[in-house]
Structure 1
């Protein structure tokens, strides 16, 4: 899939950002962005990993992680928003879940679907349209390249900011939920994309 060349509606030079899949050799940038995401004030609501655990991982872990989600991989894709200076401003990962396989939080997947995870945009870049461009590219990749029938995600019920964005983009709650790993008193709510 080619980088997104469509102009963004937001102002402030967002159209100059390139939305694209990562390359395997870009693991240092993928590592830096992930560690930044894990230091976000709502990281405990958005990610199932901690900064303390991630920062201890060896470079081989980050190399393997990037290679497993790089361009050309058919079951997983990491999409980034790259600034004109080369700095990554945000990212989302698409996981392809096969029909009949075990779901992310248990159960069995009824259809081949894309599951959006690891959503992050740097604080200084938020509200400018980058998240919309990342999601549009990720959904297009999931449908056109991976051939999924459905696109979903989960959001912690306490993460209102993320939920509001997902709703604006066209995701709606399915009514399904699962306990948050490590915090059974909280729920992860399933949302599915309609339209688009």
Structure 2
């Protein structure tokens, strides 16, 4: 499968919407995303335009996509910039300048061929290259039951930080079950010698 990895463009809101809705229909979606398909479907075109425009600006974040030669998107990841003393969308407040990877999704037919690794490489390289305050770490959260994703993150170089936050309930969760957790994984900038 031939594809390129690139940043999303501001006018691509319809493709951004389509891949997000595909992600929310994936069998792993209940433990991979904090939004349901129904919630995603309910967003207006203006919501998607603004979301894509912001992701394309490359200031507070950047969305990367894997695009086949015919123009179909087969994967995506978004890196959000988080600074100390600024509000964050999820998890603990930033202690250092960092980025937070969210919205990771690769279509089933593009899995296992390196697309996710290429998307992560683009997002991490972008993080390390940001001007101004130097980004010290990249973080993400993974549901404790999402072993496949956690294994990939470890292979890429991420390690558990020891932090966790409450996660979405498991599909089969009963009120007496312990609450599910989202585990924070982190990748620190390598120190130059």
Q: Give the TM-score normalised by structure 1.
A: 0.87
**Aligned equivalent of 1:165, options 132, 141, 152:** 152
Q: Which ranges of 4 or more aligned residues in structure 1 deviate by more than 3 Å?
A: 102-107, 181-184
User: What is aligned with 2:140?
Assistant: 153
What's the counterpart of residue 175 of structure 2? none
**Equivalent residues in 2 for 1:1-196, closer than 5 Å:** 13=1, 16-70=2-56, 72-145=57-130, 147-181=134-168, 185-194=179-188
* CA–CA separation in structure 1 for the residues paired with 2:101 and 2:117: 13
How many residues align structurally? 181
- Confirm or deny: 8 A CA contact 1:178 1:188 kept in the other structure: yes
TM superposition shift of 1:18? 1.1
Change (3 A) 1:115 1:140: same
- Structure-2 separation of matches of 1:62 and 1:29: 10
| Superposition deviation, residue 181 in structure 1 | 4.8
Structure 2, unpaired ranges of 5+: 171-177
Q: For residue 108 of structure 1, report the CA deviation from its aligned partner.
A: 2.7
Deviation for aligned residue 1:73: 2.5
Give the match's secondary structure for 1:32. Answer: helix
More moved, 154-163 vs 177-186: 177-186
Contact 2:128 2:189 in 1 (8 A): no
- Separation in structure 1 between the aligned mates of residue 88 and residue 46 of structure 2, nearest angstrom: 27
Q: Pairwise CA RMSD of aligned residues?
A: 1.7
